[in-house]
Structure 1
Amino acid sequence: MEVDPHLTERTVQTEELLRGSFLHVVRDTVRLPDGGTATREYVRHPGAVMMVPLLEDGRVVLERQWRHPVGQVMTEFPAGKLSPGEEPLACARRELLEETGYTAREWARAGRLHPCIGYSDEFIEIWFARGLKPGRPQLDDEEFVEVISATPDELLAWCRDGRVTDAKTLTGALWLREVLSGAWVLDWQAQSAPS
């Protein structure tokens, strides 16, 4: 049974506009619910993960890095793009280690978010990590990241006052608040060290 046929668009044709090393942009011709046609341009994305790393003392691990499209240093939860065929948990473990140096004893999948539905099919899987063990980050040559920590209250204040404006981190802060309050429960799973 079709859901929401009065709103659903059907792709008739797809044209590739750009295939770069990071971005893949397409233009779809779609059939509208009323029978007409229109075009939709958007970025195709392989998906990503975001981690909410919990330290034993109650703080969370964050990072600060320059984000060229917005021209400023952003404070955000660690995150990274899925490699082809990579499972989200494997990506979360890899990215947490690479960007922050931390490994985690336990992981819990929280949910999924779509950060820019108007122009991209990107999704971001949200993972919580605890039982953290510090190590040395393994950044790419062109990556410059400052690892910091904050209490949940500090993070929420930064969200409120506009210091944190990154959509995935704002969503992560919502999940963090609800998990810490007990309103949203996570299913924690122990994980062996990555090989």
Structure 2
Amino acid sequence: MIDEQHNPWQTLSKKEVYDNKWIHVEEHEVIIPSGKPGIYGMVHFKNKAIGIIPVDDQGYTWLVGQYRYPLKEYSWEIPMGGGPIEQDVLLSAQRELKEETGLTAEKWTKIMRIHTSNSVTDEEGFVFLAEALSQGETEFEETEQLAIKKLPLREAVQWVEQGKITDGISIAGLLLAARLRGI
């Protein structure tokens, strides 16, 4: 039987490979679980990943579309962004929803904590369901050129099933939100 609390990895040394205001990359010299020497690259994100699924009284949600530079393709996603590590994730979610959709919400429910790619990063993400919505003006960041689409939550789930949405946080969040709402 495996002891879930036992760490079979041993870190011998680590060195910084790259650093900017969003990420920090390290290379670790390690002893791997088999007892042999190895290396491990790790990306530390300087923000938490924050995703929001706004749903109105009629069951509609909002997606945002944008060109994703690393993928070299357009991506439809739930409203999302980064929240400072030290900041309450709810405050970050409220800011991101307003920035990207212009929406504010009276009711917030944290529905998910997720690790985005636990084989190479320690990034932690959170997804919120936002309800009792009011429409206002967007406040895009200078790096954002977003399209906004309002559609039934059921249709957003169909986009996941059809492969039109490929972002992991969006997929997980939409599927859980639909399940929680009985869709």
TM-score (norm 2): 0.90
| 1:13 counterpart letter in structure 2 | S
Asked whether the 8 Å contact 1:47–1:122 carries over to 2, the reply is yes
Q: Following TM superposition, by how much is the alpha carbon of 1:56 offset from its aligned partner in structure 2, in angstroms?
A: 1.7
Once residues 9 and 100 of structure 1 are traced to their aligned partners in structure 2, the CA distance between those partners, rounded to angstroms, is: 43
Q: Secondary structure at the match of 2:142?
A: coil
1:68-147 equivalences under 5 Å are 68-147=69-148
Aligned residue in 2 for 1:189: none
Equivalent position of 1:9 in the other structure: 9
1:100-131 CA distances to partner (integer Å, 9 max, x unpaired)? 11111010111211122222211111111101
Deviations 1:70-117 (CA, angstroms, capped at 9, x unpaired)? 112111001111124211111001111111111110101112111222
Instruction: Report the secondary structure of 1:120's partner residue.
Output: coil
Q: Name whichever structure is richer in strand by fraction.
A: 2
The count of corresponding residues between Structure 1 and Structure 2 is 180
Give the equivalent residue in structure 2 for 1:148: 149
Q: 1:53 to 1:26 in 2, by over 3 A?
A: same
Alpha-carbon contact 2:55-2:153 (below 8 Å) kept: no
Gaps of 5+ in 2: none
**SS, match of residue 157 in structure 1:** helix
The whole-number CA distance in structure 1 between the counterparts of 2:96 and 2:87 is 12
In structure 2, the residue matched to 1:65 is 66
Equivalent residue of 1:181, what SS?
coil
Question: Which amino acid is the alignment partner of residue 91 of structure 1?
Answer: S
Counterpart Cα distance in 1 of 2:79 and 2:166: 14
1:52 aligns with 2:53: yes
- SS of equivalent residue, structure 1 residue 147: strand
Give, in whole Å, the separation in 2 of the partners of 1:3 and 1:71: 39
**Secondary structure of residue in 2 paired with 1:153:** helix
RMSD value, Cα: 1.7
The CA deviation at 1:30 is 2.2
Instruction: Provide structure 1 residue ranges, at least 5 long, that are not aligned to the other structure.
Output: 183-195
Letter of the structure 2 residue corresponding to residue 60 of structure 1: T
More moved, 98-107 vs 28-37: 28-37
